[in-house]
Amino acid sequence: MIEVVRAGLMDLVVDGVPRRALRFGLSEAGPADAPSLWAANRRVGNPSWAAGLEILAQGPVLATRAPLVACVCGGALEPTVDGTPAPWGEAFEVPAGATLAFRRARPGLRAYLAVGGGIDVPAAFGSRSADLPSQLPGLAGRALRAGDVLPVGPVRGEARASGPPPPATPPVGEDGAALLRVLPGPQWHMAPTAVRRHLLGARLRVTPQASRVGLVLEGEGEAPRWAAADMPSEGTLAGSVQWTPAGRPVLLLVDRGSLGGYPKPLQVIAADAWRAAQLRPGEAVRFVPVTRAAARAALAEVCREAEA
């Protein structure tokens, strides 16, 4: 078992099991950066879908009640055991009674901790992932608190050496902006020319209104307006870029609502929607159009890297 000595900013139990509950109005939930969780799980001998922790920016302080094999992948943080740095992106041992903590040492926003056997909290709709909007399940759908005790499941496989984990953060262009590859969204054909130019030409910035629901973006100067008031609500995807009446695009992530009534002129490809979850407020973003073939190839590459 693992005891939470001190909670971080927002640390969640997440797993890689598709929750298939959108038809009930629930969010997708799960890891915002799934390949990083998959990679950490593979390195400790777990199936890629096993439950671990998504750790935001700062990290908790954890105490182990039994020996563990652990791995941390993703962005922002690197692990320490009793104050001594432990390897990032590789499996390492944590003795019984040791303190596992984290230090800010990498770009990005979210790190992922996997332990041999996985975090064994109750599941709902087949998943252990915390769903903050509906408070299901993973510790009643909430973040970790001091005093929480996390059960660990039986170890299923041995830790193994692997290559470098997949990149957690997007590549950066010459102007310092993160590059996110996009396809036309379902309402691209409806978008005014000014909106298209703004989305594909402007250097956008992640505002402080950023969460697992989505990233609110803004450009320099006044944004063009586009109100599609007669558009019916329809399903949303992680990576959908909604255009709001205020002229601010919103890049949706895993805790988004299952339906949305704003037009979606762009769709960030799956390989980059995960990496977008590592962007911090204040960072710059540019959207780069690609072909569907390129999007499929990028997804296959990310999956290969996570499973290596």
Q: Does 228 map to a domain?
A: yes
Closest to 184 measured CA to CA, from 298, 243, 268: 268
On whether the CB atoms of residues 263 and 235 are closer than 8 A, the answer is no
On whether the CB atoms of residues 55 and 110 are closer than 8 A, the answer is yes
On whether the CB atoms of residues 180 and 285 are closer than 8 A, the answer is yes
Span 15-22, average pLDDT = 80
- Residues of the chain with pLDDT > 70: what percent? 98
pLDDT of residue 133: 78
pLDDT of residue 265: 95
On whether the CB atoms of residues 182 and 44 are closer than 8 A, the answer is no
119 and 11 belong to one structural domain: yes
Name the average pLDDT for the chain: 91
pLDDT of residue 252: 96
22 and 119 belong to one structural domain: yes
Q: Does 75 map to a domain?
A: yes
Report the number of distinct structural domains present in the chain. 2
Q: Does 32 map to a domain?
A: yes
Closest to 265 measured CA to CA, from 226, 306, 215, 307: 226
Last residue of a domain, one of 134, 150, 166: 150
Span 281-288, average pLDDT = 96
More confident residue, 278 or 166: 278
Does residue 229 surpass a pLDDT of 80? no
Last residue of a domain, one of 131, 150, 169: 150
Q: Does 90 map to a domain?
A: yes
For 159, residues 6+ apart whose C-beta sits below 8 A from its C-beta are 43, 44, 45, 69, 71, 91, 116
pLDDT of residue 131: 84
Q: Does 247 map to a domain?
A: yes
196 and 100 belong to one structural domain: no
On whether the CB atoms of residues 248 and 217 are closer than 8 A, the answer is yes
Q: 69: domain range?
A: 2-150
144 and 191 belong to one structural domain: no
Q: What tens digit of pLDDT does each residue of 47-101 get? A: 999 999 999 999 999 999 999 999 999 999 999 999 999 999 999 999 999 999 9
The structure's pTM equals 0.94
Last residue of a domain, one of 133, 150, 167: 150
207 and 81 belong to one structural domain: no
Dist. CA 9–CA 15, nearest whole Å: 19
202 and 116 belong to one structural domain: no
User: Using the 8-state DSSP alphabet, how is residue 88 labeled?
Assistant: T
Q: How confident is the model at residue 224 (pLDDT cuts 50, 70, 90)?
A: confident
Q: Does 172 map to a domain?
A: no
202 and 289 belong to one structural domain: yes
Does residue 20 surpass a pLDDT of 80? no
Joined tokens for residue 115: 């332990």
More confident residue, 69 or 20: 69
Closest to 60 measured CA to CA, from 131, 130, 132, 145: 145
Q: Does 234 map to a domain?
A: yes
- Helix or strand (DSSP H, E) at 275: helix 270-276
202 and 140 belong to one structural domain: no
- Helix or strand (DSSP H, E) at 94: strand 92-94
Q: How confident is the model at residue 226 (pLDDT cuts 50, 70, 90)?
A: confident
Joined tokens for residue 120: 């064994």
Q: How confident is the model at residue 184 (pLDDT cuts 50, 70, 90)?
A: very high
226 and 129 belong to one structural domain: no
Q: Does 61 map to a domain?
A: yes
Residue 241 CB: number of other CB atoms within 10 A? 25
Q: CA neighbours within 13 Å on the CB side: how many for 143?
A: 13
Assign residue 279 the CATH number of its domain.
2.40.100.10
Cα–Cα–Cα angle for 68, 74, 75, nearest 5°?
Answer: 120
| DSSP H stretches of helix in 98-218 | 138-141, 193-201
| DSSP H stretches of helix in 81-164 | 138-141
On whether the CB atoms of residues 87 and 40 are closer than 8 A, the answer is no
End-to-end CA distance of the chain: 28
186 and 301 belong to one structural domain: yes
301 and 227 belong to one structural domain: yes
Residue with structure tokens 């390989």?
271
Dist. CA 114–CA 128, nearest whole Å: 14
pLDDT of residue 204: 95
118 and 210 belong to one structural domain: no
User: Using the 8-state DSSP alphabet, how is residue 100 labeled?
Assistant: E
pLDDT of residue 243: 93
